[in-house]
Structure 1
């Protein structure tokens, strides 16, 4: 009997697992851009623990193993900034990234007044770009050069309108 992947809120004990998975997942991005100093590979344990305390961090679990994660926070202007969507390489291309992205969008909308979702990816990260477009994101503005090898593409989509139950 196989196990199914569950998505839930990360807890402080997940920090080390998330950081290790993040390091594994961003190796291909670092190789693609020839830059192993990208922030996901240099983030400290303390910085990740601070993100766990401040924003919405979800994990995907297969049994006890963390096989995916995503983070998000909503700005004062209603922009939900989604970051570090990661899926273990052996679990990729099975819909888990889309499930995580949808789950964080739902959570950020339910817990705040999110008006739009925004995320960033590298200009040559074709699989990421394809996934985000498939899920309704569109590029806004020009890619922002980070260094001579990497430019970040900003992608956004509108959050669904909030619906409120009428009370009598």
Structure 2
């Protein structure tokens, strides 16, 4: 593990290539889990990614270790709802809390009128589901998309806090 502190910042267009590389590396395990190399994070082009990043209703937040992008999360804003997607952590940094850090990093980038945050993942992505439920997201429903079934989870802001494992004194 590097001694450089992790910095959270918006991912700008000049880092789009690095973001695309990070996402592709991070989502290989998902593609293997579902035996599908054509999942959207692996097939998105650089042009499509740049168009997505330029949208007024999309914010992309990154975790940086020095000059290296080691994590990212996409936030789509719609009315009073934010939907998180494409949570990616560099394969050599997985399991170190970067995913949790990315989930927590979203809050400062949300407009004040956001009252709920949604996230979705493949129904068989047990590690992802565990990450989200540990951080206050509750399963709402499953939805099929072709051969894949997504589980949608929701967190109502202000009503659920992350569980503190420290015993009360």
Alignment TM class, shorter chain as reference: 0.7 to 0.9
TM-score of the superposed pair, with normalisation by structure 1? 0.88
Matches within 5 A, 1:20-35: 20-35=21-36
The residue aligned with 2:16 is 15
State the Cα distance separating 1:5 from its structure 2 match: 1.2
Secondary structure at the counterpart of residue 26 of structure 1: helix
- Deviations 1:113-163 (CA, angstroms, capped at 9, x unpaired): 11100011001101100000000001102x212233x210000010228xx
The residue aligned with 1:129 is 129
**How many aligned positions are there?**
156
Pairing 1:146–2:145 present: yes
Q: Which stretches of structure 1, 4 residues or more, deviate above 2 A after TM superposition?
A: none
The equivalent position to 2:91 in structure 1, one of 65, 68, 89, is 89
Q: C-alpha separation between the residues in 2 aligned to 1:94 and 1:157?
A: 23
Q: C-alpha separation between the residues in 2 aligned to 1:40 and 1:129?
A: 18
The residue aligned with 1:59 is 62
Q: C-alpha separation between the residues in 2 aligned to 1:121 and 1:64?
A: 29
8 Å Cα contact 1:74/1:112 also seen in 2: no
The residue aligned with 1:79 is 81
State the Cα distance separating 1:89 from its structure 2 match: 1.2
The residue aligned with 1:42 is 43
State the Cα distance separating 1:47 from its structure 2 match: 1.6
Q: What RMSD over aligned residues (CA atoms) do the two structures have, in Å?
A: 1.4
8 Å Cα contact 1:61/1:68 also seen in 2: yes
8 Å Cα contact 1:105/1:117 also seen in 2: no
- Deviations 1:6-42 (CA, angstroms, capped at 9, x unpaired): 1101111110000011111111000100111111111
My pick for the range that moved more, 20-29 or 1-10, is: 1-10
The residue aligned with 2:6 is 5
The equivalent position to 2:71 in structure 1, one of 62, 68, 71, is 68
State the Cα distance separating 1:51 from its structure 2 match: 2.2
